[in-house]
């Protein structure tokens, strides 16, 4: 059995930067918090908890904290959260991914000019919630073909389209095409992270030539879920796991080739563990 690991599996630049920042703060300071889990990976969050990093999930919880360090995770937050953290007198460490920060600036600029902004993405995802919070109310979130078809652009405003950084690139194009036909003055900015595009394209090509695919990542990770959807479309024997514990190696007895990819929040040690287990299975079959 041939085992092929995707070249771009695992931590992207923004996630690695954020995780490194939290570990550094945990070593140097007490009373360290993150607003929401720093990344969508339960193993990393649990390890940080053991090192004294507390996860804060709501505005009400922030209001109970009056000292310490609050780390803004890679997904970013709304302007309202920034302002609240300053009001509480907390030391702020901003680990927002630079690509997400760029979208914040775009949304702020275009809404200040009186334009309506459309975010192509999942309205419930923390990245999209944060982006929306820089739009002064003039923001619409669209995720599905139905929502795009039903959208009616305002008659008195220009419209600017941006995307969640981890959104499916092909789906983004399809939604933009539908919306753009509604008015001549709608502009679309592809703000999908290049690493996301490369990862998705690579996973699709690997799935096409593999008998089975393993997609590794947290169950709440948006970009990992999209990788799974892409791989499943090309390879029916696609398995979504968080760690090696979730993988039934007996399923791979009859496969000649197995591809492995992983979401942007998946640590390298977990990926390597799965890869080695598959390679050992391949050797045992020889």
Task: Break the chain into its structural domains and give their ranges.
Answer: 2-10+194-285, 13-96, 99-188
* Same CATH fold assignment for domains 2-10+194-285 and 99-188: yes
Cα separation, 229 vs 231, whole angstroms: 6
Contacts for 48 with CB less than 8 Å, ≥ 6 apart: 22, 23, 26, 34, 38
For residue 285, the model assigns a pLDDT of 61
Range 99-188 has CATH code 3.40.1010.20 = yes
Local mean pLDDT, 10-residue blocks, the chain (286 residues):
91 90 94 91 89 95 95 94 95 95 96 96 94 92 97 92 92 96 91 90 96 93 91 96 91 90 92 92 65
For residue 43, the model assigns a pLDDT of 83
The pair of structure tokens assigned to 51 is 């090192």
C-alpha of 151 from chain center: 25
For residue 67, the model assigns a pLDDT of 93
C-alpha of 144 from chain center: 18
For residue 219, the model assigns a pLDDT of 85
What CATH topology corresponds to 2-10+194-285? Cobalt-precorrin-4 Transmethylase; domain 1 (3.40.1010)
For residue 42, the model assigns a pLDDT of 83
For residue 13, the model assigns a pLDDT of 87
127 as an active site residue: the answer is yes
Alpha helices in 115-236 (DSSP H): 126-132, 145-150, 169-180, 194-209, 222-234
Q: Which residue do the tokens 């771009």 mark?
A: 8
Cα separation, 111 vs 136, whole angstroms: 7
For residue 253, the model assigns a pLDDT of 82
Catalytic hit among 25, 115, 116, 127: 127
Helices (H) and strands (E) in the chain, counts: 11, 12
Q: 13-96 architecture in CATH?
A: 3-Layer(aba) Sandwich (3.40)
pTM flag (> 0.95): no
């Amino acid at each position: 059995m041939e085992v092929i690991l995707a070249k771009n599996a695992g931590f992207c630049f923004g996630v690695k930067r954020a995780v490194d920042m939290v570990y550094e703060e945990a070593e140097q300071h007490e009373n360290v918090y993150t607003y929401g889990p720093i990344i969508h990976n339960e193993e990393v969050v649990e390890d940080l908890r053991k090192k004294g990093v507390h996860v804060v999930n709501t505005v009400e919880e922030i209001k109970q904290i009056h000292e310490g360090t609050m780390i803004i995770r890679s997904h970013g937050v709304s302007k309202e959260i920034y302002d609240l953290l300053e009001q509480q007198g907390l030391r702020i460490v901003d680990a927002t991914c630079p690509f997400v920060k760029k979208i914040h600036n775009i949304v702020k600029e275009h809404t200040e000019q009186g334009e309506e902004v459309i975010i192509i993405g999942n309205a419930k995802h923390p990245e999209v919630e944060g982006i929306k919070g820089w739009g002064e109310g003039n923001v619409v979130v669209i995720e599905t073909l139905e929502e795009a078809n039903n959208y009616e652009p305002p008659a008195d405003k220009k419209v600017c389209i941006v995307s969640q950084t981890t959104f499916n690139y092909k789906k983004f194009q399809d939604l933009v095409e539908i919306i753009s036909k509604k008015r001549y003055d709608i502009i679309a900015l592809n703000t999908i992270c290049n690493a996301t595009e490369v990862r998705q394209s690579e996973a699709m090509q690997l799935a096409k030539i593999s008998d089975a695919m393993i997609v590794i990542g947290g169950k709440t990770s948006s970009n990992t879920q999209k990788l799974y959807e892409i791989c499943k479309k090309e390879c029916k024997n696609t398995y979504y796991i968080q760690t090696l514990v979730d993988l039934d190696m007996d399923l791979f007895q009859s496969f000649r080739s197995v591809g492995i990819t992983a979401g942007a929040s998946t640590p390298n040690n977990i990926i390597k563990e799965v890869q080695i287990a598959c390679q050992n299975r391949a050797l045992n079959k020889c």
